[in-house]
Amino acid sequence: MIISGVPALPYDDSAGFTAPPAFGAYRVLHQIGSGVLGPVFRTFEPQHEKLVAIKAFRLDVVPEVTARLADGLRRLAANPVSHPTIIPVVAAGLEG
């Protein structure tokens, strides 16, 4: 899918992660990269009609630690840091 003339970017499929069709309200368009913690996806959020990058963390930790990490990210989303070199967290959650 191309949104507003934005073409798909090449991606590195080395993460071995199959993307779900969506992360909550964010529809997955395609993978745009991958790193040590997991893949990054270009998604589209239809309510605000904007493109959003989703970093899907693949962590080898117990569920309690995962829940604490997700809670910390939710707090960052609720109280964003304002700095020109920091991309704000807009949402956080657990999938699967």
pLDDT for the residue numbered 74: 86
Element (H, E) at 11: none
Whether the predicted model's global pTM rises above the 0.75 cut: no
Q: How far apart are the first and last CA of the chain?
A: 25
Q: What is the mean pLDDT of the chain?
A: 80
Query: Distance (Å, rounded) from C-alpha 41 to C-alpha 60?
Result: 20
pLDDT for the residue numbered 55: 87
Q: Return the higher-pLDDT residue of 96 and 24.
A: 24
pLDDT for the residue numbered 7: 56
Residues 38-95 have pLDDT tens digits of 899 999 999 989 999 998 887 777 888 888 888 888 888 888 888 888 877 788 777 7
Residues 16-47 have pLDDT tens digits of 667 889 988 999 999 999 888 889 999 999 99
